[in-house]
A and B are shown apart, each in its own frame.
Chain A
């Protein structure tokens, strides 16, 4: 028999509508503008560990066809709006990531992304906290730096620990032997497998290693260690949001695109066209701002106390 019914209950489907309405109300009260940008783009994300899905347009204007990528987040398009003078903006967008499916992943998902000109990462954390506190009815938020989290739980300084120490920790904690000499690979494994599952209370982790800056600016912390002004929010062991005090330097942006491409080549991953329109927008000038992306399906899962995304998605991949 063919399965046609939704995997989420009607209760969960109604709860999603309520949550969306609550999110829109939250931003309306704060004067943040809702925007809508295309899901399809001629350029793709550069991050080596995000693989975009591909599509193609054929028709007027493009007789030979135009290759298009489904966005992995609305980040690039929203930054172009910021550079165009939009002021504070948010979007409830569909995002797509190839190869990601599991209890906390679906290749198509709903992302809430917003940008706040003149905010830094601390101020944006306050706002994320206000939104999530209201959505989940919790007030037990805490904040800890990436360094302190590793020091407390694993007795190592993630910024300075030699790769051998990280390799040993990974082997001890996870029976996992990686051949890599890339420190970030070990740090990512340790945080996602060992530390994250233990972050039950809503916890902001901030000041990431500079090598994991992505699109965040890098500044020295109080120990003169260069750190990425990036934060993540974890609730009940679930990675819920990722935010940056945004990079606005177009040359640095172009350099990071190049570095991502080099990494892709080294790892044998496909290289896609980078977003030159974003670089051009940054050249024209994007205001100082902080931005964050939050997984709405995961937020709904937590709000309803469910353990699997399928319980809040009408039609996950296997039923799509």
Chain B
């Protein structure tokens, strides 16, 4: 990979720091009127998710990280790995481990398209779309007429995840869920 010097730093740049791939979140130039120049970078460690700040002397450089974000369709899990396929027509498949799948596991539905971050061509991180549509597999019977206000109940979705839904929702219905908050949005 190419090296990037402090003058090339910008948010979104992926670099290697202490052996981990990192994504720059915020870059600022810091220099006292009398004194040396530094570049202060806030970055996300893509391995751990941790956000932290590092300071670099002007002119220092970092190795770029071979990190790419690709659209992939979720295929199936064999219990150990979760299998994805590129949507670019190449049919190329990738296997993500539990760590890479992380919280996305709650919303993974077969044939849905996810954004998979590849590091050295292996899945590092799986991100589902902000909204997914999932079927209710189990919930208490819906209450007729109660479509407007009041009350909620738990509902189990096809992925096994439990969300709070309004009382009028029935088993078998497909719901739109906000994956960032894990909240019910509407009927799909």
Contacts and interface: CB of A to CB of B under 8 A. Distances in A.
Do chains A and B stick together as partners?
A: yes
What secondary structure prevails in chain A residues at the interface with B? mixed
B131 interface: no
B58 A192 contact: no
A101 B39 CA distance: 10
Interface stretch (A6-14, A171-179, A274-282): A171-179
Interface in A176-196: 176, 178, 184-185, 188-189, 191-193, 196
Contacts of A252: none
B29 to A, nearest CB: 3
A101 B32 CA distance: 13
User: Which of B33, B37, B58 gathers most chain A CB within 10 Å?
Assistant: B33
A157 interface: no
A192 B38 contact: yes
B33 A242 contact: yes
Interface in A42-88: 47, 49
A185 B37 CA distance: 10
Nearest to A192: B32
B79 interface: no
Nearest to B35: A188
Contact of A189 (B29, B33, B54, B55): B55
A243 to B, nearest CB: 11
User: Which of A102, A175, A293 gathers most chain B CB within 10 Å?
Assistant: A102
B20 to A, nearest CB: 14
A102 B38 CA distance: 11
A99 interface: yes
Contacts of B33: 232, 239, 242, 293
Contact of A100 (B37, B54, B55, B57): B37
Interface of A: 47, 49, 99-105, 174-176, 178, 184-185, 188-189, 191-193, 196, 212, 214, 232, 239, 242, 293
15 contacts: A99-B58, A101-B29, A102-B28, A102-B29, A175-B54, A175-B55, A184-B35, A188-B36, A189-B35, A189-B55, A239-B32, A239-B33, A242-B33, A242-B34, A293-B33
